[in-house]
Amino acid sequence: MINVAILGFGVVGSGVGEVIVMNNAKLAKALGDDITVKYIFDKREFPNTPWQDKVVHDIDVIMNDPEVSVVVECMGGAHPAYDFSMDAIKKGKSVITSNKEVVAKFGHELLAAARENGVGYLFEASVGGGTPVIRPLVKCLVANEIDSVCGILNGTTNYILTMMNKYSESFETALASAQEKGYAERDPSDDINGIDTCRKICILADIAFGYGMDSTKVYAEGITAIRNKDVALAEKLGSSIKLLGRARKEGDKVSVMVAPFIVSRERVIAGIDDVFNAVAFNGNAVGEVTLCGRGAGMLPTASAMVADIIDVVNNGAWNVSWCNPAETPADVLMTPDEVEDKYYVAFAVADNGAAIENVISDARLLSTGDGETAIETPKMPYGELKNKLATLEKNGIKAVSVIRIF
């Protein structure tokens, strides 16, 4: 009998419980053994549910029970999730998590402890929810040098952008509807400001490039400045606006950033809508591989976590190798100003292409009229763009929207 303890019985934790019950026969076949939830650690009681007898409020009941071989951490937040995970690892229990905050901040430490204690610390669900991402990267693309990783990693913001695009909803209305549907938290700031995406792209960049990224030092721009005008123009150009996490190798350095991008519909990720996530890897042998699926939600996320349970039970402790952040040179991460892109820029002036062209040469006029002029710039470092926009502003030509072009 495989005895599992679930820490935190909210949306994801109760999903793990539900999948273990719903697909119990399939899981038993895959494990060659029965599997059950022995404990639920939560403040609440869940009376009159099948779970009520499993609830404990004292974490030590779980930590000190040698029958519990796998702890599923679904608490969210850095503490005490990190502390309980470390405790469990030191007690010889494998830990499965969907907690990207803990993985991004403490992944290196927890993986080192897991290796030392001969257990597994697996976190497939922390990136892409139910979408297979980390295991395909680590197991299927291992024969490649990875050149870039890029993806739609946050379901809430993708839902908001989809509503703005398909139904011309305002940002505020779309956010309210995301909250109503349970996609967005009551405080959605980590989603809409790109912080959640930033943690996830850092996890992927760490694994893909072998550097320890400090996600708090990575440039993250959210979607709060995106206007319906911008979405409509992108649509007219055969593109969609997507919030992307993007990590690229650039010579000896890497660029890692989160920002909204205008993505041509020629690319698979431009068509990934609603709460779906997608990650595109570029490897030097395989070329582009794209993985798409539900980025959040009770059962999809639980699907990934239960797969992690089965893997760690069947295949013993395996752990992703992860560079010590302390061993990563601080200057390996390019500053945002150094990173080159093409940009869409909308100015609050009509019919002033010539004046703009004087400062940004080879700009391509995208549209003009209705009090605005929109251009596509040639590829240039972000720092250079900012200088040019400052010059234009001094001449009364103010940029009201800047979005990178993928």
Q: Does 327 bind a copy of itself (CB under 8 A)?
A: no
The type of residue at 29 is K
In the complex, least distance from residue 139 CB atom to a copy of itself, rounded to whole angstroms: 6
Q: Does 142 bind a copy of itself (CB under 8 A)?
A: yes
Q: Does 17 bind a copy of itself (CB under 8 A)?
A: no
Residue in 54, 93, 100, 200 annotated catalytic: 200
Q: Is the CB of 103 or the CB of 309 nearer to a copy of itself?
A: 309
Strands 146-152 and 68-73 turn out to be: unpaired
Of residues 300 through 319, those in contact with a copy of itself by CB under 8 A are 300, 302-304, 306-307, 309-311, 315, 318
200 is catalytic: yes
Stretch that binds a copy of itself, among 125-133, 188-196, 222-230, 348-356 (CB under 8 A): 125-133
- Report which DSSP code applies to 137: I
In the complex, least distance from residue 248 CB atom to a copy of itself, rounded to whole angstroms: 18
Stretch that binds a copy of itself, among 45-53, 176-184, 189-197, 266-274 (CB under 8 A): 266-274
Strands 55-56 and 35-41 turn out to be: parallel
Stretch that binds a copy of itself, among 108-116, 149-157, 263-271, 340-348 (CB under 8 A): 263-271
In the complex, least distance from residue 290 CB atom to a copy of itself, rounded to whole angstroms: 4
Strands 364-369 and 340-347 turn out to be: unpaired
Burial (CB count <10 Å: 0-12, 13-18, 19+), residue 232: middle
Q: Is the CB of 320 or the CB of 356 nearer to a copy of itself?
A: 320
Contact 7, 39 (CB under 8 A): no
Give the 3-state secondary structure of residue 37: strand
Q: Does 332 bind a copy of itself (CB under 8 A)?
A: no
Q: Does 237 bind a copy of itself (CB under 8 A)?
A: no
Give the 3-state secondary structure of residue 366: strand
Q: Does 73 bind a copy of itself (CB under 8 A)?
A: no
**Which residues lie closer than 8 Å to 26 by C-beta, 6 or more apart?**
none
Q: Please identify which residue in 3, 11, 21, 23 interacts with a copy of itself, judged by CB under 8 A.
A: 23
What's the rounded Cα separation, in Å, for the pair 256 and 221? 12
Q: Does 249 bind a copy of itself (CB under 8 A)?
A: no
What's the rounded Cα separation, in Å, for the pair 193 and 220? 7
Q: Is the CB of 31 or the CB of 355 nearer to a copy of itself?
A: 31
In the complex, least distance from residue 44 CB atom to a copy of itself, rounded to whole angstroms: 23
Burial (CB count <10 Å: 0-12, 13-18, 19+), residue 396: exposed
Q: Does 107 bind a copy of itself (CB under 8 A)?
A: no
Contact 250, 223 (CB under 8 A): no
Residues in contact with a copy of itself, counted by CB under 8 A, come to a total of 48
What's the rounded Cα separation, in Å, for the pair 190 and 267? 27
Tokens of 404: 């990178």
Beta strands in 74-195 (DSSP E): 94-97, 121-122, 146-152
What's the rounded Cα separation, in Å, for the pair 129 and 295? 4
Site map 271..300 versus a copy of itself, x via CB under 8 A:
xx----------xxxxxxxxxxxx----xx
Q: Is the CB of 282 or the CB of 377 nearer to a copy of itself?
A: 282
Q: Is the CB of 268 or the CB of 380 nearer to a copy of itself?
A: 268
The type of residue at 261 is F
Q: Is the CB of 251 or the CB of 369 nearer to a copy of itself?
A: 251
CA 240 to each of CA 13, 68, 157, 281: distance values in angstroms, whole numbers, following the listed order: 34, 47, 13, 20
Contact 254, 211 (CB under 8 A): yes
Stretch that binds a copy of itself, among 25-33, 47-55, 211-219, 235-243 (CB under 8 A): 25-33
What's the rounded Cα separation, in Å, for the pair 287 and 121? 29
Query: Catalytic amino acids?
Result: 200
Q: Which residues bind a copy of itself (CB under 8 A)?
A: 15, 19, 22-23, 26-27, 30, 124, 130-132, 135-136, 139-145, 265, 268, 271-272, 283-294, 299-300, 302-304, 306-307, 309-311, 315, 318
